[in-house]
Structure 1
Amino acid sequence: MSKVGDLRYGENPHQSGALYSDGTSIWDKAEWIGGISPSYLNVFDADAAWRLLWDLEAENSCVIVKHANPCGVAVASTMEEAYTRAFECDPLSAFGGIVAIAGEVGESLAEIISQKPKADLIVAEAFDPLAVEILNTKRKSTRLLKLARAKPAKTQLRSLVDAYLVQGPDGIDDSSTWTLVSGDLPDQECMRDLVLAWKVCARTSSNAIVIANGQRAIGIGAGQQNRVDSARIAVSKAGDGARGASAASDAFFPFPDGLETLAAAGVRAVVAPSGSIKDKEIIEAAERLGMIFFHTGQRHFRH
């Protein structure tokens, strides 16, 4: 491993920080073209947003991340619409967040972004010169990062006090491997929202519940110690948008309460891993609630 460069500071201002690479990373050729120098968390959060963006496999898509977790995700017919819809998922959390854009940031998109509350960093494959001028003029402290498309994840390394944990990558399973255990096969719109919710959920801190509607992740409950609290947070953020929506859980439901919380808000379809000793009871709850319910073959804990 060799040093790519020093960072403004580490996770906190009193900590030093630097970026290292094995020489094959997209970060080796990252181009910072605006704003103040990046910190440890700017790079960490940008990487989280960039990874999820390309997991979506959609041309016009936008991901907004705050503290390593998505707070807005949208796929749309234009990049301008994708950004606007992603921002509207959770405007309060989007302030000071990381915005990841699929493709180029053009002049019209830059104008829209500059009129919203400040983003700490915008990462994209390219920036039109006029877009750079707009953002550097109206959002002088916002960092602009040009980065190549995310590569498939390699071996993951995490430091302990005096050792390291190593694991393989957490690839996201395809919906063709899911098993329908309650309700009828959903229509294409519902299925697309289930897939979006599942992908976002896989890149959200556990315990995670994600509600999607109209190709937007409108309710994200992240990082709770119990699953029902994550469901409550997701429902609260989704509001009326939960009616007729789809949802995903990163791990199995240990009790029916999480599913019941989603159903009470109007969620009609859910995807979650199997593996609970109460799987039969959970499936019976889904049938009783009239919900479409898929089981997956993989869990996606993230810590």
Structure 2
Amino acid sequence: MGTPAEERFDRVTRLARRMFGLPTACIDIVGEKLVWLKSVQGFDGLERMRKDTYCHYTIQDDGVCLIRDTRLDPRVHTGDPYWDWIFYAGAPLHFEGERVGVLCVGDDKPRDFTPEQVESLIDLAALAGQELQVAALSEAQLALARANEELEMKTRIDVLTHLWNRRAILELATIEMTRADHAPVAILMIDIDHFKSINDRLGHPAGDRVLRVVAERLRAGIRPMDAVGRFGGEEFLAILSGIDGVEALNVAERVRRQVARSTIAFDGHRIPVTCSIGLALSARPDDAESLIRRADQALYRAKRAGRNRVAIAPRAR
């Protein structure tokens, strides 16, 4: 109830109006107190009080409710929304074994319905009931799809830092390298300096705090279109797309400064943090694996040269 019109139900009411040659047809979803006009042909309306409609009587059993002349029916009163329907025919809709609505047709003059027409109305009501099942299934499938998307996203996010995890960042690197025929890609391999000593001196909760803060600073240092993920342990990998060597170095230096910009507070301690960065810029015949390997080799040189610095990998030959 309360849902907008849907073409799947409008098709049924259009077919009913054509089949019986009647000016009006509708599908009503019947609640405890209200009737929601899910599909309407030939008149206006969205919601009615159940007690004021013939649907209230139709839904009480499985048979077709036929009223040749409503002017002669004792249930008619001026508050009835169908008071101008002289003829009324309605068949209940079933959903999961329950009567939940009505397919009804009407005319502004008395009519008779043949047994064949009654049977056709029952068939159309069954068709509308099937559409209710399909609509419910569609909603369930959408909900399942959303849940699967969320689950898939969770499998790609590092729980501690909320960055991409190793699997996801490697996939992104491969994608970028595949489509980067003319736009260079830079890889930053980033390692937190002396991270083991932080864990050894202050414990793993302190190390976790450092990882989370460094992740925030990495996001602040890269460009909005770039990606960064936790590669493993205290190592991170950033993918810079469509960038030249000068700008890639500028981003790497900005990342390094962001990480070192202030100490990190934990349990009364102030933890100084720096990072070393290896930078590699793509060139033929690089693929994602070789580019990451060159960035890792540059990182090793940065750490060997004293840490808290950026080292650039030589161009691939």
TM range (shorter): under 0.3
Higher normalized contact order (CA 8 Å, seq sep 6+, divided by chain length): 1
TM-score, scaled to structure 2:
0.22
Higher helix share: 2
Quick check: which has more Rg, 1 or 2? Answer: 2
